[in-house]
Amino acid sequence: MTILHVEGCIRPYAWGSRTAIAELTGRPSPTSHPEAEMWFGAHPGGPCPVHPVGDDDPTPATGDPGEGTGAAPAATEGSPVAGGDARTLESVIAADVPGQLGDAAGPDGRLPFLLKLLAADQPLSLQAHPSREQAVAGFAREDAAGIPRDAFTRNYRDDNHKPELIVALTPFDAMAGFRPVGETLRLFDVVDCPELSRFRAMLGSGADADDLRGLLTTWITLPDATVRPLVAAVAASCRRAAARVADGAEPWMVRTLETVAELGDRYPGDSGVLCALLLNHVRLEPGEAIYLDAGQLHAYVRGFGVEVMANSDNVLRGGLTTKHVDVPELMHVLTFDPLEDPVRRPDAAGRYPVPVGEFALRRVTAADPEATSVTGPAMLLGTAGRVQVDETAVPAGTDATSTALTPGDAVWVPAGTTVGLTVLDAGHPPAGAETGADAGSGDHAVAFIVTVGTED
C-alpha cells in the first residue's frame, strides 16, 4: 500500500480567522473570507481528495460558509476534485477497507477519526456532543422524520459520537466543562450584580451536578423579556469587575469576567452569556490540550490549534450563535458533573492520553533527536518547518516512497505500512506562539501523528 497526500478541506465558518491557516500553509493573507477549519479525513461532510506523493499539491478545497452544515465542499479552480474524477480518502478506504484500515476498521468500515486545523478569531457556539447511543438514536429519529441531512434544523448529521481533543498551536482560550460550584460562588461575589444575586441561592446545596442542572435550566429557558435585561446587567457588572480586580484576581476569574463582558456585547439577550459564568475558562499555552467527552458543555473562544475527534459532525447548540439552537436536545445530552482540571499535557513521548479508542495523538517537536517510526493506519500533519517521511520495510521488488511535510501538508499511511519521520528543518511556530510556553525553546510542534487507539 502506498502513502498518499491528503488535500485539506477548508471550512469558511464566520468565526474563523482570515490569517492563521493561510499563513501556516504559505498562502496570501488575509483571505477574502474567514477560514475556520481545515479538515483532513474521510467524513462525507468534508471529503478530502488524495493523490500520490510527488504529485503537484493542489489548492485546498473550500467548503460552504455554514457551521457544521454537513454539505460537501466546493472544489477550488484547478483542484483535482473539480473534474469529478479525483479520488477522495473516503472512496479509497471504501474500495479496500481491510487494506487501508486493517484491524482498525469498525463494523461500518469508516475511518474512525477526523483531523482538523482550527482557527478561531471569534467565540464559537455554546455546544456539546452526543454519546454514541444518543447519536444513533437521534440520527435514526431525524431520518425517520424526513429531515434532510443538510437541513439547517438537523441536529444529527451522522450516527457517531464526537469525543474531541484540541492541542494549542498558539495561546488558545476556551470554555470547557462546568466549574466547581464553590469557585462559581466566589465569582458571583466578585461580579457583584444585584440582578444575579437572586440566582445565587440555587447553588451551594452540596449536590453540585443537581445545582448546576437546575440553574442552567432556569437560565436557558427564561423568556426574552426577562433574559435580555439580565444579560445586559450581568455583562456590565462583569466589565466593571474585570477593571476593578485585573491586577489582583486569579487569572481564570479575570478571563471569565472579560469573556462574559465580550459575549454580552456580541450576543445581547442570549442566555448563553449567563451560562458562560458556570464554565471553566482556560488559556492553553502551545502544546497544552483540552479533551472533551460526550455531554460536556464548551465553547472555544479564540486561538489556533490542531483538533482530532471521532469521525462525526454532530453538534448540539445552546446559544452564542446564529445557527440552529435546540435547547431541549442539548439539555438531554448534557452532563453536569464539574470538570476540575480540563487541561491536558503530553507525556515524555509527546502523546496525549485519552479514554477512547478512535484516535491517539502524538506531537512531534523540533527537539525530537531521532527519527520517529509510525505504522498505519495513520494521518500525519505538518505544522512547522520540514519533516521527511520515508516508507520503510517495503517488500522486495517494491520501490519505497518518500515525501516531505511542510506546514499544512497531510499524509495518509495505510494499514501495515511503516514510515519514518525525520525533522529536517524546525522552522518557526505560527504567529502568536512566541508568547507561549515553547517560545524560544526550539520545542515547538513540527508535526502531529494520529493513529487509531493507543500508539505503541
Residues that constitute the known binding site for Zn(2+): 127, 129, 164, 298
Q: Is 317 a catalytic residue?
A: yes
Count CA atoms closer than 13 A to 121's CA, side-chain side: 15
**What type of residue is 292?**
L
Cβ-based neighbours of 324, under 8 Å, separated by 6 or more: 152, 153, 154, 155, 317
End-to-end CA distance of the chain: 21
Amino acid at 338: P
Task: Find the helix or strand (DSSP H, E) in which 271 lies.
Answer: none
What size, in residues, is the chain? Answer: 456
- Choosing from 317, 362, 363, 386, which is the catalytic residue? 317
C-alpha cell at 232: 445586559
Q: What is the 3-state secondary structure (H, E, C) of 32-80?
A: CCCECEEEECCCCCCCCEEEECCCCCCCCEECCCCCCCCCCCECCCCCC
Question: What single DSSP character describes residue 329?
Answer: H
Cβ-contact 164, 289 below 8 angstroms:
no
- How far is residue 415's CA from residue 102's CA, in Å, rounded to a whole number? 5
**CA triple 312-318-324, angle to 5 deg:** 70
Mapped onto helix, strand or coil, the DSSP state of residue 121 is coil
- Binding-site annotation: residue ranges: 127, 129, 164, 298
The C-alpha angle 244, 246, 248, rounded to 5 degrees, equals 95
Catalytic positions, written as ranges: 317
